[in-house]
């Protein structure tokens, strides 16, 4: 009995140990499979990493450009907009906080990063003409004059403007070369806002332009139209402009679709100002901001030089245009909206009492009084980062005839 019992208990022990060995074996196999799986995953991961790495590397250094010319195309010819999806561009986003979206929003040029030298030097392709409807425009703009403005800030905002306030679009051939002429005296604060708002707008409009501030020296009576004639003459000494836009320093367009270039007919831009309840004050109004091509300007013998003090000169210009068989062209009333920075009447720019008589006589005076009879003296030309300042002496009004 004891022998049989011990044999039985031995068999039981042996059975238990063989089943635990089996379990261990199965566990081992499972572990082995898991390890193999993990190893395989690692390998796969490594492989993917390598593929990705070489793909980026090849794009960056154009390793495979020979094989996919059609795909990568010409990189000099950056379209700026989304393009056709098959183009790979490298963007220079070195400016602080720059994002592709912010570049798209400002319409600023997107510059391809420098390419390493290759044996084949690509022949520079001629730039396409700038689009008539620039794609980066924003439309209606929020214009306000309550925040503090400094010239340093405006300079930082406009790193692509070159000395003297010049700019040309990098990616297309501009249709016009525009000189923007501003009559000026003692309006430094207004000028900061004007530059702050206008430079980005003009850039988005893909215009080749230069900004000329024509500063009347001394404290004699102000003469807006004569300063504009000076601006025309002096700008042409700087570059071959074919379009001239004459703007008050205190007027800011509220819509960037109001395009600052020249048109078939002399252009009146500022047609709906806040100070006139966003309406044209009268049909023949031509004040604020206007633009004439070189040909149109010469056809009317420029502007009158003999309007001293406030008022009348804009009506005389309007008369010159119609008397010479031209019409005034204007933008859509929704696009021609402007804000004027509120101001008092300046000293030495009192309303000109002769203005009503003078505008009756444009037909007789325009041939002898204009760009053909202009005299002035340039005292200083100074090129600042965002504009060119031309300080001039333009004389003073002739003595009033004595009334006995």
Cα–Cα separations (whole angstroms), residue 402 to 307, 357, 396, 398, 399: 19, 17, 17, 12, 9
Report, in Å, the least distance between residue 119 CB and ligand UD2.
Answer: 56
Nearest to 243 by CA among 231, 253, 254: 231
The only residue of 234, 250, 306, 315 in contact with Mn ion, by rule CB under 5 A: 250
Count of positions on this chain that bind ligand UD2 (CB under 6 A): 22
Give me the count of residues in the chain: 404
Query: Is 370 a residue that touches ligand UD2 (CB under 6 A)?
Result: no
- The stretch near Mn ion (CB under 5 A) out of 106-114, 221-229, 243-251, 284-292 is 243-251
The one of ligand UD2, Mn ion, none whose footprint includes residue 310, by CB under 5 to 8 A per kind, is ligand UD2
Q: How far apart are CA 290 and CA 311, in angstroms?
A: 15
From the list Mn ion, ligand UD2, none, pick the one residue 313 interacts with, judged by a Cβ distance below 5 to 8 Å according to partner type.
ligand UD2
392 strand-pairing partners: 216, 378
Report 201-240 residues binding ligand UD2 (CB under 6 A).
222, 224
Q: With binding defined as CB under 6 A, does residue 32 bind ligand UD2? A: no
Binding to ligand UD2 in span 256-275, by CB under 6 A: 273
Contact between 250 and ligand UD2 per CB under 6 A? yes
**320 contributes a contact to ligand UD2 by CB under 6 A:** no
Judged by CB under 6 A, which stretch of 8-16, 127-135, 185-193, 385-393 contacts ligand UD2? 185-193
Q: Could you list the beta-strand ranges (E) of 251-371.
A: 251-253, 267-268, 272-273, 289-293, 337-340
| Angle made by CA atoms 35, 40, 46, in degrees to the nearest 5 | 125
Residue 23: strand pairing partners: none
Comparing CB distances to Mn ion, the nearer of 248 and 306 is 248
- How many other C-beta atoms are found inside a 10 Å radius of the C-beta of residue 12? 10
From residue 330, alpha-carbon distances to 173, 179, 201, 305, 335 in Å are 25, 19, 19, 25, 10
Specify the residue for token string 């404290």: 219
User: Which residue in 130, 154, 187, 302 binds ligand UD2 (CB under 6 A)?
Assistant: 187
Residues in touch with ligand UD2 (CB under 6 A): 182-187, 222, 224, 248-251, 273, 287-288, 310-311, 313-314, 340, 346, 349
Catalytic residues, which ones?
A: 248, 250, 310, 313-314, 340, 343, 345
């Amino acid at each position: 009995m004891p022998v049989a019992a011990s044999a039985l208990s031995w068999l039981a022990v042996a059975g238990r140990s063989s089943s635990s060995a089996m379990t261990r074996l199965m566990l081992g196999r499972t572990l082995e499979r898991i390890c193999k799986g993990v190893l395989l995953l690692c390998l796969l991961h490594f492989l993917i990493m390598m593929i990705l790495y070489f793909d980026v590397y090849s794009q960056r250094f154009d390793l495979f450009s020979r094989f996919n010319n059609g795909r990568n195309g010409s990189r000099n010819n950056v379209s700026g907009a989304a393009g056709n999806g098959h183009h790979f561009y490298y963007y220079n986003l070195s400016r602080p906080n720059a994002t592709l979206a912010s570049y798209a929003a400002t319409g600023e040029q997107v510059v391809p990063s420098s390419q390493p030298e290759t044996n084949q030097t690509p022949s520079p392709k001629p730039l396409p003409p700038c689009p008539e409807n620039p794609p980066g425009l924003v439309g209606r703009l929020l214009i306000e004059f309550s925040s503090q403005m400094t010239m340093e800030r405006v300079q930082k905002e406009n790193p692509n403007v070159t000395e003297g306030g010049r700019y040309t679009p990098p990616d297309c051939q501009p249709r016009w070369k525009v000189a923007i002429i501003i009559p000026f005296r003692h309006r430094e604060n207004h000028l900061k806002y004007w530059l702050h708002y206008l430079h980005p707008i003009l850039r988005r409009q893909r215009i080749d332009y230069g900004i000329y501030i024509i500063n009347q020296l001394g404290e004699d009576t102000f003469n807006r139209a004569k300063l504009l004639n000076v601006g025309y003459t002096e700008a042409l000494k700087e570059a071959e402009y074919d379009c001239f836009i004459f703007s008050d320093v205190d007027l800011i367009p509220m819509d960037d679709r109001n395009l600052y270039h020249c048109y078939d007919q002399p252009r009146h831009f500022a047609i709906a100002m806040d100070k006139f309840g966003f309406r044209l004050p009268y049909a023949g109004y031509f004040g604020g901001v206007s633009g004439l091509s070189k040909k149109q300007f010469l056809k009317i013998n420029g502007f009158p030089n003999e309007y001293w003090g406030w008022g009348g000169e804009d009506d005389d210009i309007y008369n010159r245009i119609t008397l010479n068989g031209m019409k005034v062209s204007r933008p859509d009333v929704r696009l021609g909206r402007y804000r004027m920075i509120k101001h008092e009447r300046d000293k030495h720019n009192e309303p000109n009492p002769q203005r009503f008589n003078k505008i009756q006589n444009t037909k007789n005076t325009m041939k002898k009084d204009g760009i053909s009879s202009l005299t002035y003296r340039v005292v200083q030309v100074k090129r600042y980062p965002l504009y060119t300042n031309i300080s001039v002496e333009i004389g003073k009004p002739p003595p009033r005839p004595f009334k006995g």
